Amino acid sequence: MNDGFPEKRKDKWLPPDFIGSAGNGACSIKAPDVITDATTFNELLVGARENDVSDVHLCSNSPVIFRRHGQLLSLTQENITLDFLRNMIEPDIDPKHIAKLEQCGDCEFIHTIEGAGRFRVTLLKQREGWDLTARCIPLSIRSFAESGMPQACINLTKWSQGLVLVTGPACCGKSSTLATLIDTINATRNDHIITIEEPVENVYIPKKCQITQREVGTHTLSQANALRSALREDPDIIVVSELRELKSIELAVSAAETGHLVFGTMNTNNATQTVSTLIDSFPPEDKSIMTNMISESLRGVISQRLIPRKDQSGMVPAYEVLLMTTPMANLIRDEKSEQLTNAMVTGKQSGMVVLDDSLMDLVQNDIISGKDAYRYATDPERFKEFL
C-alpha cells in the first residue's frame, strides 16, 4: 500500500543506531589459523562462530580465551597486553564505545559482522587494564521443537494476558528460550509485540505479528520509561529482557493485570526462588497487595540450566516448569512459596516439571553424565549413585 512516504524512508529518516543488522548474508572475513598481532577483532569473532564458541574473553595480562561447551580454552600461550587488546578491537568497533568506556568505566553494545551474526560485547576497565567479553548470539531462533522445552510450555504462548518468566543463572540460555517463545507467537498470532531489551540481541522478522524492538540507552532512557510508554502503544504482548529493578517489576505485574501478556527473564536458580524473589522485591507495606496480584497474574515460570552433553558435542538445557493452577495460586497468595516444589511434583499431570526429573531423563537417555547431573541437581543425593 502506498502511504505517500518514500519507500526507503527509514534509511533516510532514522540514524543507523535505530536500524541495526541481523548479520545475515555471506561472510567475507576469514577466521585466523593462529592469533597474532595482526589478527583483527572481526577475524577472532568469525573464528569463534565457526568453532561453536559461546563466549570470547580478551583480558589484559591473560591469554585469549574461548568458552566452548562450557569449558574455557586458551588460544595463546602468552598473556596479551592492553596495547594488544586496544590495537585489536579499536579498528573494528564504533569509537563511541571507547569514548563511553573512558568516561563511564564500562559499556555494553551489539557488534555485528555481516555473515557472522551479532555479538553482545561487554567492555570494562579493571585492575590490569581492559576486559572484553563477547557473547555469540545464535544465528537463528530455534523452533519450539528444537528447543527441547516440555510440551506444556507451548501453552504459555496462548494466553491473552498474564506474566510468564524465563529464569536461571547467568549464561544458561534464557535469552534463547525467550526468543523461541516470542517467535512462536510471531508465527501463530496476529498481535503487536513490543520488546524492551538491553541490548537488542535477537532480531525478529515479522511473520504474523507487528514487532517493535526497543533498546535501553539507544531508544529509551530506562526500562521503566519504556514500560510506561509501551502501555500507550496498543501492545498485546510486552517482552522485557531482564526484570531486576523494583519499578520495572511493578510495572510488568501491573501490565499483566491490565490485559497484556508480559514475558520477562530473571536471574534466579529455580521456579520457587523466582516467585520468592518476585514477592520479596516489594517493600513490606506493598507486599500483601503485590502478592495477591502475582498469584492472579502469573501464568508460569520456565527455569533452566545448560548441561554439557556426554559426547562433548555441545550443551543441552534441563528445564523446570511451574504452571499456574488454583493450588499454586493459593500457595502464593498464602505466602507459602516454600511448598511450591512439592506441589510441582504432584502436579506432573498438568505438565509441571522439577529440575531433578529433567536431569534424570537426560541421564537415562545417555545425553548427560550422572556426574554432571549431580553437580547441577537440587537434590544431589538422588544422583549419588552415578559418582
> Which of 11-20, 187-196, 198-207, 301-310 is the least confident region?
11-20
Whether residue 5 has pLDDT greater than 90: no
What share of the chain has pLDDT > 90, as a percent? 87
**Backbone phi and psi for residue 154, each to the nearest 5 degrees, phi listed first:** -60, -30
Cell of 380: 544431589
- What is the pLDDT, as a whole number, of residue 267? 94
Residue 93 phi, psi (nearest 5):
-115, 160
pLDDT tier for residue 131 given thresholds of 50, 70 and 90 = very high
Distance CA 64, CA 83 (A): 14
Task: Report which of residues 11 and 131 the model is more confident about.
Answer: 131
- Please state, in angstroms and rounded to a whole number, the distance separating the CA atoms of residues 384 and 387: 6
Confidence band, pLDDT 50/70/90 cuts, at residue 132:
very high
pLDDT at 9 over 50: no
Q: What is the mean pLDDT of the chain?
A: 92
Range of weakest confidence among 62-66, 150-154, 191-195, 224-228 = 224-228
Q: Residue 237: is its pLDDT beyond 50? A: yes
Q: Helix H segments across the chain? A: 9-13, 41-50, 82-89, 95-104, 144-147, 174-188, 223-230, 246-257, 271-280, 284-297, 326-333, 340-346, 355-364, 370-376
What local confidence, expressed as pLDDT, does residue 24 receive? 84
> Strand pairing partners for 73?
66
Report, in this order, helix, strand and coil percent for the chain, each rounded to 5: 40, 25, 40
Q: Tell which residue, 59, 62, 57, has the closest CA to residue 79.
A: 62
What digits encode the pLDDT tens for the residues 141-194?
999 999 999 999 999 999 999 999 999 998 899 999 999 999 999 999 999 999
Please name the amino acid found at residue 37: D
Q: Coil, strand, or helix at residue 164? A: strand
* Beta-strand relationship, 298-308 and 315-323: antiparallel
The backbone torsions φ and ψ at residue 39, rounded to the nearest 5 degrees and listed phi first, read: -70, 130
What pTM, to 2 d.p., does this model score? Answer: 0.91
3-state secondary structure of 348: helix
How far, CA to CA in Å, does 240 sit from each of 22, 52, 193, 262? 20, 27, 11, 8
Domains of the chain and any CATH numbers: 9-136 (3.30.450.90), 144-386 (3.40.50.300)
Q: How many CA atoms lie within 13 A of 222 on its CB side?
A: 9
Cα–Cα distance measured from residue 162 to residue 29, given in angstroms and rounded to the nearest whole number: 45
Q: Which residues pair with 134 in a beta bridge?
A: 56, 121
Predicted pLDDT at 12: 41
Average pLDDT over residues 116-145: 96
**C-alpha neighbours within 13 Å on the C-beta side of residue 218:** 21
pLDDT at residue 19 greater than cutoff 70: no
Amino acid identity of 135? R
Q: Rounded CA gap, 361 and 355, in Å?
A: 10
Out of 11-25, 70-84, 283-297, 312-326, pick the least confident.
11-25
Say if CB 174 and CB 166 are below 8 A apart: yes
The mean pLDDT of 240-258, rounded to a whole number, is: 92
Cα gap 301→118, rounded to integer Å: 28
CA distance 226 to 222: 6
346-379 per-position pLDDT tens digit: 999 999 999 999 999 999 999 999 999 999 999 9
CA-wise closest residue to 228 among 238, 215, 213, 241: 238
**16 — pLDDT class (breaks 50, 70, 90):** low
* Residue 175 contacts residue 154 (beta carbons within 8 Å): no
- pLDDT of res. 67: 96
Residue at 305: amino acid letter: R
